[in-house]
Amino acid sequence: MIHTRNLPFITTLGIFILAYILCVTQYPNMLSTRVIGNLLTDNAFLGIAAVGMTFVILSGGIDLSIGSVIAFTSVFVAVMVGSLGVHPLVAFAAVLAISTIFGSAMGAMIRYLGIPPFVVTLAGMFLARGAAYLISTESVPISHPVIDAIQGFYFRVPGGGRLTALAMLMLIVFLLGAFVAARTRFGANIYAIGGNQQSAELMGVPVGPTTVGIYALSGFLSGLAGIAYTLYTSSGYSLATVGVELDAIAAVVIGGTLLTGGVGLVAGTFIGIMIQGLIQTYIVFDGTLSSWWTKIVIGILLFVFIVLQRGIIWYSDRRLAESRLKEV
Amino acid sequence: MAESYPLLEARGIGKAFLGIAALDGVDFTLGRGEIHALLGENGAGKSTLIKILTGVYSRDRGTLQLDGAEVTPASVADAQKLGIGTVYQEVNLLENLTVAENLYLGRQPTRFGMIDRREMRRRSKALLTRYGLDIDVDALLSSYSVAIRQIIAIARAVDLSGKVLVLDEPTASLDSHEVETLFTVLRRLREDGLGIVIITHFLNQVYAVADRVTVLRNGRLVGTRDLANLPRLELISMMLGRELQHMTRERQPGDETITTTGEAPIRFEGYGKRGSVAPFDLAVRPGEVVGIAGLLGSGRSETAFLMFGIDRADSGTATIDGKPASLSSPESAIGHGFGFCPEERKTDGIIGDFSVADNIALALQASRGWAKPISSREKQALAESFIKSLDIRPASTEKPIKLLSGGNQQKAILARWLATEPRLLILDEPTRGIDIGAHAEILKMIERLCAEGMSLVVISSELDELTAVAHRVIVLSDRRHVAELVGKQVTTDNILQAIASRTEAA
């Protein structure tokens, strides 16, 4: 049985498959593993960040600091490794610790000071961006045997495609994310808080620790996304990834997660990311379209999905009313 | 010998908010296998007591013993662990989760650290079968009716706690058949030795299901009685706070003439709304105070909502000065010269962050229309004159109104309506939660206003308040106007009789 709450996800999946088929009928090459491999690699950092955003939105919150944290991470890693000669793995560990603490601090402010997530993470956004500028305003190139090894690592897939380390990292994050959401108490608590925080609290859900955990997770994944971005571009730049949080929100919403929280799937976000990537790939294949068409199509899709979600809520309310009438 | 102790025993419970006592030395005892009703009007302290029992609030004073051992539940989860579970009226479960997820939230069966969904489903099925429910536990909670949700919530609470079950207005949105199903479940749980506390304002249901009753009034314990030998009349008088004694109001000469002579310019005929108040007739004459009496949930406030256009009537007509009038919104009611001071002053009355002057000017501005703003000098003068005439303290026009005491807030709201010079002013519980001094002043003000020719409708659960000011009292019961007492008939005895005879018959 298909739950009405999963209907947005089914719709997204349908749209993605349909769009892919349309693309392939026009450009048969788009079905190649090479294209799919690139699709995954190019969107790896965005995908990792979007998993964190999914949890935040499921809980009824929002995290605007993601793009800035990614930029901070990339500059931090580039300067540590490129200028100071620190071992990349040490730099990775340090920056993941920083971003996780940063996220927890925002979560604690949201919960214990009662400040809306929008405001707290907006402040976090400026803070992280400012800290990135403070480290360096230049684009810092990065080169190290370990980094080169990670960048060069891939599995060859039949058909000439490459499953890179970044693509695998993203897929693992999605799998783990889906597992946490569906199969752990932490995940169940997130859905509960997103459904109705007051009820969740009255039912004994530890709202405080869970909220802090959600934003810590989002901070950690932003840091991880920043590392992926650094590996992807081989540099760190404090002006990079402006507005990435909005792309992540778009992917989450297109993936069928309700912005009001409580309903959605991590798998949906994956499809949301893939739809965005697909449009970009199509534009590359076409060669004549402006790349801004990506934004236009994403805009249209967002509208469609928000209307669709409204419609589903309206429909299920009406059905409930009807079934009540029948009972009487 | 644990059995010699009552299941739950509270002694001398006290709790104050911002210095105002919500509960004052209340005792409450619950036995095993007992259904205990907790009754009282709004503000009596029922929900405060419940919240202390279930760990939402901490008590200031008193002792709480469960099975003879002193307990202090620090949170809802803590109370659950101790064995005290709660089911609230509406917000008790999560609509976005499935039935099984709701039943096992926070205590999901796990295998290798993962939630074992199959086991959760199996246990949910088994649990609900014991309550006579055979439903798809994988369906979303939102796909089931309130009655089924209520039983699911009870199943969760009992499974989780297992000693004491607290039900806060469980029947408020159920029909009579659903109520019966719920009571069957409760009676079975009683046989299992559970102690059940039920808050409701339906007296018939109290008599149908409960063994004993505890009545609170104004934060104090009125008494705990066995229902088997407690006549309804006595229960109602416990709730409304009057012993049966023959108190008659000191009638001034001329009272009777006001109420009997002259055509009433404001009349409601067959006015009603399905599911809210049965059609009623009501005529109000200038200079008359009409009291509305009844128990909580009898349709008192609903009558006011209809008269002021907050709810739209679906039957009957309203006539003003002989012409039919449409009261489809508060705006149109204000246009006809009506004013309304709602019961929930904090949420529906004041705008907390606005200054006293802004709050007072609000209704006048609304009646003038937004195109003609009141100048700040005019507003200031208006506020100052009312602060002086009503003795609002502190005498500052600029202080945010939320910083004033309840009595002064109420006066400011009265001022808001008096500024529009209304011909009919409806006051819903005008003296709730304010100190004695302000209480007397507001009653005096009501008398002065009607002497000036204004019509007033006063809703109150304080019977001696009604008998003191009203020329006429309409008695409500079960959302129906059941009696009208005029002049000398207006006594606490007669009002109690009218309420009791109706609930007995129902």
Residues of chain B found within 8 Å of residue A201, distances taken between Cβ atoms: 76
For chain A, the structural domain boundaries read 4-327
Which residues of chain A have a Cβ shorter than 8 Å from any chain B Cβ? 1, 3-5, 179, 182-185, 188-189, 191-192, 194-196, 198-206, 262-263, 316, 319-320, 323-324, 327-328
Q: Tell which B residues from 480 to 499 touch A, by Cβ distance under 8 Å.
A: none
Query: Would you call B93 and A203 a contact, using CB atoms and an 8 Å cutoff?
Result: yes
**B113 in any annotated domain:** no
The string of DSSP codes covering B53-121 is: HTTSS--SEEEEEETTEE----SHHHHHHHTEEEE-SSTTS-TTSBHHHHHHTTS--EETTEE-HHHHH
- Highest-scoring range by mean pLDDT, A93-102, B366-375, B430-439: A93-102
If asked whether residues B45 and B177 sit together in one domain, one would say yes
Q: Quick one: pLDDT at residue B3?
A: 54
If asked whether residues B314 and B370 sit together in one domain, one would say no
Query: Would you call B145 and A203 a contact, using CB atoms and an 8 Å cutoff?
Result: no
Chain B closest-CA separation from residue A57 CA (Å):
14
Query: Would you call A205 and B106 a contact, using CB atoms and an 8 Å cutoff?
Result: yes
**B447 in any annotated domain:** yes
If asked whether residues B209 and B221 sit together in one domain, one would say yes
**B135 in any annotated domain:** no
CATH number at residue B283: 3.40.50.300
Range of the domain at B410: 349-421
**B370 in any annotated domain:** yes
pLDDT tens, residue by residue, A213-255: 999 999 999 999 999 999 999 999 999 899 999 999 999 998 9
If asked whether residues B311 and B360 sit together in one domain, one would say no
> What is d(CA A127, CA B7) in angstroms, rounded to the nearest whole number?
55
Final residue of a domain: which of B404, B421, B438? B421
Q: What CATH code would you report for A4-327? A: 1.10.3470
Residues of chain B found within 8 Å of residue A324, distances taken between Cβ atoms: 145
| Contact (Cβ atoms closer than 8 angstroms) between residue B89 and residue B170 | yes
Mean pLDDT, to the nearest integer, of B193-202? 88
Mean pLDDT, to the nearest integer, of B96-123? 90
Q: Quick one: pLDDT at residue A168?
A: 95
Mean pLDDT, to the nearest integer, of B286-305? 87
Number of other CB atoms surrounding residue A318 within 10 Å:
10
Query: Would you call A324 and B145 a contact, using CB atoms and an 8 Å cutoff?
Result: yes
What's the ipTM? 0.84
Chain A closest-CA separation from residue B460 CA (Å):
32
Final residue of a domain: which of B369, B403, B421? B421
Residue B90, chain A, CB below 8 Å: the answer is no
Chain B closest-CA separation from residue A262 CA (Å):
6
If asked whether residues B413 and B455 sit together in one domain, one would say no
pLDDT tens, residue by residue, B220-231: 899 999 998 888
A242-246: long-range contacts (C-beta < 8 A, 24 or more apart)?
A242/A67, A242/A71, A243/A67, A244/A46, A244/A49, A244/A66, A244/A67, A244/A70, A245/A49, A245/A53, A245/A63, A245/A64, A245/A65, A245/A66, A245/A67, A245/A125, A246/A67
If asked whether residues B175 and B301 sit together in one domain, one would say no
If asked whether residues B63 and B173 sit together in one domain, one would say yes
Mean pLDDT, to the nearest integer, of B66-82? 88
| B93 pLDDT above the threshold of 70 | yes
| B212 pLDDT above the threshold of 80 | yes
If asked whether residues B497 and B354 sit together in one domain, one would say no
